Chains A and B, each alone.
Chain A
Amino acid sequence: MALPIRYHWRNLLVRRTTSALTILVVTAVVGTLTWILGFFLALQSSLSVAGDAHKLLIIQRGTTSETNSAISPEEFNRLAQLAGVARDPESGEPLISPELYWQTQLPRLRDGGATRANVALRGVTLRAFEVHRNIRLLGERFSVGEPQVIVGRAAAAQFAGLAVGDVIRIGVGESREFRVVGHFDAGGGPMESEIWMYLPAMQSAYLRNGYSSVSVRLEDPASAPAAIEQVRSAPIELSAEREADYWRNQTSNVRFYQAVCFVLVAIMSLAAAFALANTMYASVAGRAREIAMLRTIGYRPHHILLGFVMESVLLSLIGGLLGCVACAAYLELVGSTKDMFGSSTFTTMAFDIRLTPLLVGWSLASVAVIGVIGALPPAWRAARTHVLTALREP
């Protein structure tokens, strides 16, 4: 690369309006791209947190999620025979957690409570805290026998009325009042979008005596296939999945969203590449004599080509940086917590979008590629400028 950066930089400054408009287009594309990439990285991270290799999730045979699964106390009792289950070191009890899963509607914070969305409720025994080891209490835990709940950090950030001390109404006809006594963290996993309470209190509120699912902690993750087979076979005859597989299936609609978003980003990227190409074509046309002079004094076609690619990449990187800043400002203003509706759970799952260096790096690398693609046709034309014809131009 023979031509210095300052040459390209000043050429961009000379065409201020065109450069600014092109940068604006690139900024919009990169802002959107960064947000979408951040969304999927956050979702992926949330699902990977949920993937504890020691855990199995057991639901009713023939169902696909806890929402429509029902396990009777008799079926639960048969799980006592399950081999390979970890045990409490003090009591020697197997680490099996019966759970009831339900939804209720609460007002969303993001629109000031104008709309309501489903939030997941989970009734658990104290055993659940030994099975789900990623749960970290941020404050108090509900007391056994009391109408109290603890709220996942992400749920508290998404819904109104979930601060410690608030009271929510749940149960059949929303007839029961439960007080929020604490929050919990699930390492960013899906359970952080849930509200937990004592299982018998929830069973009473919803007039249920069975369970939706059972979570089991295995001694050794390697025994999972055998345990899954044993659950499936007589006499248990239920359905078991690794936790990671379960959550991946619950968010299968993500793949559809992902495809739609990436098609959208691809179309926007194409528009950005066209905007860059248009700007660079105008630049090439306006500098034909300059290019001819450079060729005359010894610059080779590849020097000219690289020069125009460099200008386009400079433009796109400026737009890229501004896009990242715009994305950061949007997350700051609107909030970095995003929710997504689970396709099978019918509840809202929330997670944090973070503008990490990796994400910024990906966005800038992508926009640099767009810059190169947009620049190549005009740069190729510039490199092939007919020197003698261009020198005679008025």
Chain B
Amino acid sequence: MGAAGIVLRDVHKAYFKDRLEIPVLAGLNLEIAPGEFAALMGPSGSGKSTLLHLIGGLDTPTRGSVRVGDSQLESMSESALTAWRSRHVGFIFQMYHLVPVLTAAQNVELPLLLFRMASSERKRRVQTALSIVGLGDRTDHRPNQLSGGQEQRVAIARAIVTDPDVLLADEPTGDLDARTSEEILNLLNALNTEFGKTIVMVTHDPRAAGHAGRTLHLDKGVLDREEVNTRRAATASAS
């Protein structure tokens, strides 16, 4: 699959707690080009994760429109969104969320079990995904036999095994040391530059955001400012 662009228009999102409306996003407008690597930053409660969930079809806006590729998400049913997610989006979580009782290969295989596919083809794809993240020799290891960085690599392999258009990463290095974080960010860079995946990454870490082509700063539910990472742009153009 190719990359998909992301367009949000006048997106509002509010939650209700004890009948009290808590606005999270307030008329947010945003465009992310196909194949772009964007970082979302902002203080806690600024709406970063909510925005990521809206782009990933895990939540729907109270008002406004969210388009990812050719899909207009706000008008889709929950069932349609579930099916759409399985084909078009790969999720990477801070805590990896691997199934502890399954091996690395079996964890990566999970998204493929939703599709009609020959077992040999599934195995080939799993092996390819694990090779891309540099764990081709760790297929039979369980999560508790892997380091944090390796676990996150397995989670990334699981996210890319269906060849999605968009990768959404929620604090992917939040639980890792500096060196391992750098490795994971380089891996995301490679997925963006070599495989053309559109990536949206939520992070609190400016160094992590520096790996993205553009950093979007959210505050109080609106896009406060954005900056283009010149170092990343230079690296990308050189490669």
Contacts and interface: CB of A to CB of B under 8 A. Distances in A.
A297 B158 contact: yes
A297 B91 contact: yes
A285 to B, nearest CB: 16
Given A7-B99, A289-B95, A297 B113 contact: no
A391 interface: yes
Contact of B58 (A289, A294, A303, A388): A388
A6 B97 CA distance: 18
A13 B100 CA distance: 12
B79 interface: yes
B59 interface: yes
B83 interface: yes
B106 interface: yes
A228 interface: no
A298 B114 contact: yes
B93 interface: yes
Contacts of A387: 58
A293 B58 contact: no
B101 A14 contact: yes
B82 A295 contact: yes
A296 B91 CA distance: 8
Interface in A1-56: 2-4, 6-7, 10-11, 13-14
Main secondary structure of the interface of B (DSSP, over half): helix
Contacts, number: 56
A43 B49 CA distance: 68
Contact of A3 (B87, B100, B113, B158): B113
Contacts of A292: 97
A290 interface: yes
Given A2-B113, A298-B85, A299-B114, A290 B97 contact: yes
Contacts of A13: 101
B85 A297 contact: yes
B53 A293 contact: no
A300 interface: yes
A290 to B, nearest CB: 6
A298 B99 contact: no
Interface in A301-324: 303
A7 B98 CA distance: 12
B86 interface: yes
Contacts of A14: 100-101
Interface footprint category on B: 20 to 34
B58 A296 contact: yes
B175 to A, nearest CB: 12
Contact of B86 (A7, A289, A297, A391): A297
B111 interface: yes
Contacts of B176: none
Contact of A10 (B86, B101, B110): B101
Interface in B88-111: 91, 93, 95, 97, 99-102, 106, 110-111
Interface in B153-184: 158
Interface in B109-135: 110-111, 113-114
Contacts of B95: 289
Nearest to A297: B111
A141 to B, nearest CB: 68
Interface string A55-94: 0000000000000000000000000000000000000000
Contacts of B110: 294, 297
B93 A388 contact: no
A10 B158 CA distance: 20
Given A387-B58, A388-B53, A296 B85 contact: yes
Contact of B102 (A7, A296, A298): A7
Contacts of B101: 7, 10-11, 13-14
Contacts of B59: 388
Interface in B163-222: none
Contacts of B100: 14
A116 B60 CA distance: 79
A3 B113 CA distance: 7
Interface string B54-69: 0010110000000000
Interface centre among A10, A11, A293, A295 (most CB of B within 10 A): A293
Contacts of B86: 297-298
A255 B181 CA distance: 73
Interface in A230-269: none
A294 B58 CA distance: 12
Nearest to A289: B97
A2 B85 contact: no
A6 B102 CA distance: 8
Given A293-B97, A300-B82, A10 B113 contact: no
Given A290-B99, A297-B158, A300-B82, 19 more contacts: A2-B114, A3-B113, A4-B106, A10-B102, A11-B101, A13-B101, A294-B110, A295-B82, A296-B56, A296-B91, A297-B111, A298-B83, A298-B85, A298-B86, A299-B82, A299-B114, A300-B79, A387-B58, A388-B59
Interface of A: 2-4, 6-7, 10-11, 13-14, 289-290, 292-300, 303, 387-388, 391
Q: Which 3 residue pairs across A and B have the least CB separation, nearest first?
A: A298-B86, A10-B101, A293-B97
16 contacts: A6-B102, A293-B93, A293-B97, A295-B82, A296-B58, A296-B91, A297-B85, A297-B158, A298-B85, A298-B114, A299-B114, A300-B79, A303-B114, A388-B58, A391-B93, A391-B97
